[in-house]
């Protein structure tokens, strides 16, 4: 794509969007050319910011006419580089951030445009006495369009599922500039293929999400947050199974290695460990109550943790004594990636495996990575209840930023772990590790 062709396209876009919808100042574009991790850096001559679905459709048609690639972008909080333009400058960024209206909220769902920040959606739902049950560390900057396009999960997947289960309909602009409107709200829609489901998780490759109808649940009457120390991931999984056998009110169950918590305490200000002693692994647990008729969440967790503490499955545990302390516990979990980034170069992988396999995967894959790349430190943390692991390999002490360019071989260890043959003593179910960044499960 030649520079004159891109310039003509941007001029045509300016006529359609007005000056407010086009950015060409390199200084204003620069922050949006790099992914959150700082690993990928692109180039682009402009950012286009439509304010309506019709304007998005017009831009897509103009892009097709001028044969200019578009890179859709929301909050730019992803760690996979999908929102970063290519280095040759051939593409123009299409920002959805001006499309930030919450069109409606009722008892069942909210209709939010792609640029709505997750925190703002939470506030709007709460004001209506409802709740959107998906949250993650980037909630203050990630947007609805990005959450839909990446099939985001977060810390409440254990009870409510990923975005795929929370999206009731999608509005999107398709590659020919036509508008797909799936916001009608039909519970049973037999008109053909579900474009909505295809668009969820497609990362903008099949169309540009402009709005979504999102399922809401009743606002929580109360919540309780506990922090526990355990000896190993298998102990954490055993604890989770015991809790789930007793109640369906557990919403969050996060597994954190002690070494990762150490990074947070070292690099994130005003943080402290919830427990006095040192533990190899930590678990963050959240329970909620829907009404005053239910046992309080604090009493529930205190009761449920008593037996695991007594029999040694849990080494130590504490309940947050206030909402502020509960938020402080969650801040430790939400700061893991930020602390790691501050500590130095690392490769990050977002992996899903069957829940029963997760403890072994975390230990064996970390050992394999460290053995093959001496001096590195590998560990995983994440949503034990849904099998989603954030598996990270930190560079050796003193390594420069160029170390990350050798991620390919490090990633190969993880890929092999995801798709290796079964050992003779393993069941077929145990070795069928599921999709790891696009790697299909073994059949």
Confidence (pLDDT) at 242: 96
Return averaged pLDDT per consecutive 10 residues of the chain, 443 residues in all. Answer: 87 94 95 84 94 97 95 84 89 96 96 97 96 89 93 85 93 96 82 89 93 95 96 96 95 94 95 95 95 94 97 97 95 90 82 88 90 89 85 82 61 54 36 30 26
Tell me if the pTM is above 0.85. no
Confidence (pLDDT) at 352: 84
Pick the CATH number of 222-336 from 3.30.70.2190, 3.40.50.1100, 3.40.50.300, 1.10.10.60: 3.30.70.2190
Which string of b and e fits 184-205 if b means at least 16 CB within 10 Å? eeeeeeeeeeebbeebbbbbbe
Separation of alpha carbons 154 and 350, rounded Å: 12
By CB atoms closer than 10 A (0-12, 13-18, 19+), residue 3 is exposed
User: What kind of architecture, by CATH, is found in domain 344-431?
Assistant: 2-Layer Sandwich (3.30)
Confidence (pLDDT) at 171: 97
Domain ranges of the chain: 3-95, 102-218, 222-336, 344-431
Q: What would the CATH number be for the domain defined by 3-95?
A: 3.30.43.10
* Domain 102-218 in this protein, CATH class: alpha beta
Q: What is the DSSP string of 349-395?
A: EEEE--GGGHHHHHHHHHHHHHHHSTT-EEEEEEEGGGTEEEEEEEP
Q: Which helix (H) or strand (E) holds 329?
A: helix 323-334
Confidence (pLDDT) at 161: 86
Query: Both tokens of residue 58?
Result: 């017009």
Q: What count of residues does the chain have? A: 443
**222-336 and 344-431 have identical folds:** yes
Q: Which helix (H) or strand (E) holds 287?
A: strand 281-289
Confidence (pLDDT) at 145: 95
Confidence (pLDDT) at 219: 92
Confidence (pLDDT) at 434: 30
Confidence (pLDDT) at 1: 62
Confidence (pLDDT) at 158: 82
């Amino acid at each position: 794509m030649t520079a004159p062709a891109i310039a003509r396209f941007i001029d045509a876009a300016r006529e359609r969007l007005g000056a407010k919808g086009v950015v060409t100042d390199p200084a204003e574009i620069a922050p949006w050319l790099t992914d959150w991790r700082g690993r990928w850096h692109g180039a682009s001559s402009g950012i286009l910011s439509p304010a309506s679905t019709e304007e998005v459709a017009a831009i897509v048609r103009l892009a097709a006419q001028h044969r200019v690639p578009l890179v859709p972008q929301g909050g730019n909080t992803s760690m996979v580089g999908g929102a970063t333009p290519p280095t040759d400058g051939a593409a123009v960024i299409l920002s959805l951030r001006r499309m930030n209206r919450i069109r409606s909220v009722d008892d069942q769902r909210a209709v939010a445009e792609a640029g709505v920040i997750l925190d703002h959606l939470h506030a709007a739902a709460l004001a209506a006495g409802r709740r959107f049950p998906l949250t993650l560390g980037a909630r203050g900057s990630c947007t609805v369009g990005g959450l839909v396009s990446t099939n985001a999960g977060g810390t409440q997947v254990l009870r409510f599922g990923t975005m795929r289960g929370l999206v009731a309909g999608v509005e999107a602009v398709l590659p020919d500039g036509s508008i797909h409107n799936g916001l009608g709200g039909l519970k049973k829609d037999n008109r053909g293929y579900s474009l909505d489901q295809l668009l969820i998780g497609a990362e903008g490759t099949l169309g540009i999400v402009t709005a979504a109808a999102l399922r809401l649940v009743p606002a929580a009457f109360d919540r309780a947050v506990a922090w526990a120390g355990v000896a190993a991931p298998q102990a954490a999984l055993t604890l989770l199974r015991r809790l789930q056998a007793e109640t369906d009110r557990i919403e969050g169950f996060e597994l954190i290695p002690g070494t990762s918590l150490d990074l947070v305490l070292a690099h994130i200000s005003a943080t402290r460990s919830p427990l006095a002693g040192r533990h190899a692994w930590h678990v963050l647990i959240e329970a909620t109550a829907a009404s005053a008729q239910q046992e309080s969440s604090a009493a529930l967790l205190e009761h449920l943790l008593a037996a695991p503490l007594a029999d040694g499955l849990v080494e130590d545990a504490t309940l947050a004594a206030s909402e502020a302390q509960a938020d402080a516990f969650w801040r430790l979990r939400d700061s893991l990636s930020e602390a790691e980034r501050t500590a130095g170069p690392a490769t990050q992988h977002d992996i899903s495996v069957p829940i029963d396999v997760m403890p072994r995967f975390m230990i064996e894959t970390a050992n394999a990575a460290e053995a093959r790349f001496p001096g590195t430190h590998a560990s995983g943390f994440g949503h034990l209840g849904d099998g989603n692991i954030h598996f990270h390999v930190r560079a050796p002490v003193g390594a420069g930023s160029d170390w990350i360019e050798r991620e390919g071989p490090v990633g190969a260890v993880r890929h092999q772990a995801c798709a290796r043959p079964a050992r003779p003593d393993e069941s077929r179910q145990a070795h069928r590790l599921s999709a790891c960044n696009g790697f299909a499960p073994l059949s």
